[in-house]
Chain A
Amino acid sequence: MTVQALLLLTSALFCMGIYGLLARRNAIALLLSAELMINAVTINLVTFSRLAGGVTGQVFAVFTIALTVAEVVVGLAIVILLFRWRREIAVDSANELRH
């Protein structure tokens, strides 16, 4: 696959993530959308790494994936606490900071 095709793919993934973030109310769906965006960025990293040669970018891509997992763990923990507290996970309902 060409670099161009890969960049198009990552752009499409990133836009889907943004759309998901903006359009969904479900907290888990938001986390999924964020994952999509992060993965798009990771693919970008690998693509440019191949373009430049060497393995540094690919090593960093593995790091990113590990960090993403940690982030998702924290995010899901928050979602579970939110569910215990309010019995639902729609983010619109958690607007206490406004008041």
Chain B
Amino acid sequence: MTPIDCALIALFVPLAAAFAIAVLAPLRHAGRPAAWLSVAAALISLGASLVLLAQQWSQPERVVREVVRWLPSGAASLAQVGIHLDGVSVSMSVVVTLVAACVQIFSLGYMADEPPAARGRYFGYHSFFIFSMLLLVIAPNLLQLFAGWELVGLTSYLLIGFYFQKPSAAKASVKAIWVTKFADMGLLLGLICLFAVSGGFEWTATLSEAWATTITLLLFLAVVGKSAQFPLHIWLPNAMEGPTPVSALLHAATMVAAGVYLAVRADPLFAQAPNTQMVMAWLGGFTALFAAVLATVQTDIKRVLAYSTCSQLGYMVCALGAGSAIAGYFHLTTHAFFKALLFLAAGSVIHAVHSNELSSMGGLARRMKLTSAVFIIGALALAGIPGLAGFFSKDLILESVYEADLLVPWAMLILAAFLTAFYMGRVIFLALFGPFSEASEGAIESGFSMAGPLLLLAAGSLGIGYFGAQFALLSGGSYHFHVGMSGMLGTACAVAGLLLSWLIYGARRLTPQAFRFLAPVGRLAESGLVDRFFEFAYRRGALALSDAVGFFDRYVVDGVMNCIGWTTIVSGRRLRGSETGNVRDYVFAVVAGAVVIAFWGLAR
């Protein structure tokens, strides 16, 4: 099979499954067959992606590109669609399909209690998501990437609002789509500018510095929205209203990483705009720290993980801002594994205790041994403990940010590394150890369909970090692990964070009261200040503007039209009196007219 065939199979088999589930109502309502169809499609897609990766592995430099004309205008065409396979897109498509397959298999067990029709719908969305995400990943230009980008946004909306009977879920889905659509405006405008300047949608275009800065800033707005960077991170915690496997797939491992993927793809453009890169580094560093602070005060296990995702995406954005696309992309890959693992393990826990709250967990390590073990692996990988996946990529990020002389963002990342270890330790000690709660007393380990994906992802979280050199090769660079000052410092901070969390929540040597002086930070974090800022901007800015426009439309535009209509009606009503219907009056008018004309003729 040629690479293009493989890519087409990976792309269109999930679409066919989604189409079948959408169109054949009996299949959808049956639930279980739809689920198996979707899982089978995901596995086929994964297989095709793995074949591609195997080919790419032996020839890392290979680029396969097949495009067809789209939007023809005369002899030329305005755009192209097709398939672009290189190291980055192939490895990303493996990550996407692997995590998606794991999540779907996990969902077989997790969603078993849902009504069959809802399960059919759920798996249909999942299949459609794989298609959309792969469409984005293998796009040969930014226009096709934009199409996939919007489609994953749509699936995200549908899956967040999966429990649409719940008002909070319905609101969360609307909030997610509003915030990301606002940001997508940047991508659209950026594409329009790019087309106007370079005549195409290629990410290899060479631009003048002013245009490069403008376009990359617009693209970066889209990245900020999709990858939940400050201040547009507000939709991600709410997105946790969706089912937990959805959070694992879309809102941790793959879809939110699409923003980072865009920045990796468009790296040739970003490299021409040092100013944008500076903005990215600072904003990424700030988000990493800010979201980590928020994560330490959450009581909902999924929200801790959601803020942690924001924070880790901040790391990636900061690395890209430092000009190291490899570091950002490497962290994207490792993060996909351990964050999907963490979310699925959290899902397993939630499935067992029927609650998201940390307070209703506790002591689960004694009841759910496997889940606890993989959760700890994921948490340690996230914290950046040496030997696990997160360590290598985080080390590379810290190194490259330090080398780019971005000292303040670097310091924020180091601090965030400390907090990351702290909040993950907090979750571990609160949920898995300590005394039982009422709910966790009777918790039982999840079944095989949930355990299998957990083990696979745990293996990935343990091992993927050692493939850094190969990843660098695939994305056209080089990487050798070496022990550096930044990495040491980051690791030391991580260990310190874990230790502190153990002292407070594990051994209970320190009470949380000892940190009362930090209370204002916690209150600030919980006050939802950013949300309120947007609310204010929306009420005072957007609504006032639309009021003004509405006033103009209602009283000026409509006023002119109404005035013309009113004049016609009134003058018609007045003139009606002259039409008596009496023959003699008409005769009189004729005669009078004749007389007037006669006099006029005489006078001339």
User: Which A residues are within 8 Å of any B CB, using their own CB?
Assistant: 18, 21-22, 25, 30, 91-92, 94-99
Q: Which 9 A-B pairs have the closest CB atoms?
A: A98-B581, A95-B581, A91-B583, A21-B587, A97-B581, A95-B582, A18-B591, A22-B588, A22-B584
Type the 1/0 row for B562-598, where 1 means its CB is closer than 8 Å to any CB of A: 0000000000000000011111100110010000000
In the complex where A18-B591, A22-B591 touch, is A96 in contact with B581 (Cβ < 8 A)?
yes
Whether A99 contacts B587 by the Cβ 8 Å rule is: no
CA distance A3 to B584 in the complex (A): 33
CA distance A43 to B133 in the complex (A): 99
- Interface contacts beyond A22-B584, A22-B588, A95-B582: sample of 9 additional A-B pairs, CB < 8 Å, sorted by A: A21-B584, A22-B587, A25-B584, A91-B583, A91-B584, A92-B582, A94-B583, A95-B580, A98-B581
Q: How far is the CB of A38 from chain B (nearest CB, A)?
A: 15
Contacts of B583 in A (CB 8 A): 30, 91-92, 94
CA distance A34 to B262 in the complex (A): 92
Contacts of A91 in B (CB 8 A): 582-584
CA distance A97 to B587 in the complex (A): 15
**Interface footprint category on B:** under 10
Contacts of A99 in B (CB 8 A): 581
CA distance A99 to B582 in the complex (A): 12
CA distance A80 to B358 in the complex (A): 103
CA distance A96 to B582 in the complex (A): 9
CA distance A95 to B582 in the complex (A): 6
Type the 1/0 row for B410-448, where 1 means its CB is closer than 8 Å to any CB of A: 000000000000000000000000000000000000000
Contacts of A22 in B (CB 8 A): 584, 587-588, 591
How many residue-residue contacts, CB under 8 A, span A and B?
Answer: 27
Interface of B is mostly: helix
Q: How far is the CB of B582 from chain A (nearest CB, A)?
A: 6
CA distance A96 to B579 in the complex (A): 11
CA distance A97 to B580 in the complex (A): 9
Contacts of B579 in A (CB 8 A): 98
CA distance A30 to B582 in the complex (A): 13
Q: How far is the CB of B68 from chain A (nearest CB, A)?
A: 69
The residue of chain B having its C-beta at the shortest distance from the C-beta of A18 within the complex is: B591
Contacts of A18 in B (CB 8 A): 591
CA distance A98 to B581 in the complex (A): 5
CA distance A30 to B447 in the complex (A): 108
Contacts of A96 in B (CB 8 A): 581
Contacts of B588 in A (CB 8 A): 22
Type the 1/0 row for B236-252, where 1 means its CB is closer than 8 Å to any CB of A: 00000000000000000
| Interface residue ranges of B480-521 to A (CB < 8 Å) | none
The residue of chain B having its C-beta at the shortest distance from the C-beta of A21 within the complex is: B587
The residue of chain B having its C-beta at the shortest distance from the C-beta of A96 within the complex is: B581
Which residue of the partner chain, among A21, A25, A94, A98, contacts B580 with CB atoms under 8 Å? Answer: A98
| Interface residue ranges of B304-338 to A (CB < 8 Å) | none
Q: How far is the CB of B598 from chain A (nearest CB, A)?
A: 12
Q: How far is the CB of A89 from chain B (nearest CB, A)?
A: 12
Contacts of B591 in A (CB 8 A): 18, 21-22
The residue of chain A having its C-beta at the shortest distance from the C-beta of B587 within the complex is: A21
Q: How far is the CB of B335 from chain A (nearest CB, A)?
A: 83
The residue of chain A having its C-beta at the shortest distance from the C-beta of B591 within the complex is: A18
CA distance A92 to B587 in the complex (A): 13
Contacts of B582 in A (CB 8 A): 91-92, 95, 98
Listed A/B pairs (25) with beta-carbon separation below 8 Å: A18-B591, A21-B584, A21-B591, A22-B584, A22-B587, A22-B588, A22-B591, A25-B584, A30-B583, A91-B582, A91-B583, A91-B584, A92-B582, A92-B583, A92-B584, A94-B583, A95-B580, A95-B581, A95-B582, A97-B581, A98-B579, A98-B580, A98-B581, A98-B582, A99-B581
Contacts of B580 in A (CB 8 A): 95, 98
Contacts of B587 in A (CB 8 A): 21-22
The residue of chain A having its C-beta at the shortest distance from the C-beta of B579 within the complex is: A98
| Interface residue ranges of B372-423 to A (CB < 8 Å) | none
The residue of chain B having its C-beta at the shortest distance from the C-beta of A24 within the complex is: B584
CA distance A91 to B586 in the complex (A): 12
Contacts of A92 in B (CB 8 A): 582-584
CA distance A99 to B77 in the complex (A): 64
Type the 1/0 row for B100-125, where 1 means its CB is closer than 8 Å to any CB of A: 00000000000000000000000000
CA distance A22 to B591 in the complex (A): 9
The residue of chain B having its C-beta at the shortest distance from the C-beta of A97 within the complex is: B581
Q: How far is the CB of A75 from chain B (nearest CB, A)?
A: 12
CA distance A98 to B575 in the complex (A): 12
Q: How far is the CB of A95 from chain B (nearest CB, A)?
A: 3
The residue of chain B having its C-beta at the shortest distance from the C-beta of A23 within the complex is: B584
CA distance A30 to B588 in the complex (A): 13
The residue of chain B having its C-beta at the shortest distance from the C-beta of A33 within the complex is: B587
CA distance A21 to B582 in the complex (A): 12
Residue of B579, B580, B583, B591 contacting most chain A CB atoms (<10 Å): B583
Type the 1/0 row for B33-66, where 1 means its CB is closer than 8 Å to any CB of A: 0000000000000000000000000000000000
Q: How far is the CB of B395 from chain A (nearest CB, A)?
A: 95
CA distance A99 to B579 in the complex (A): 10
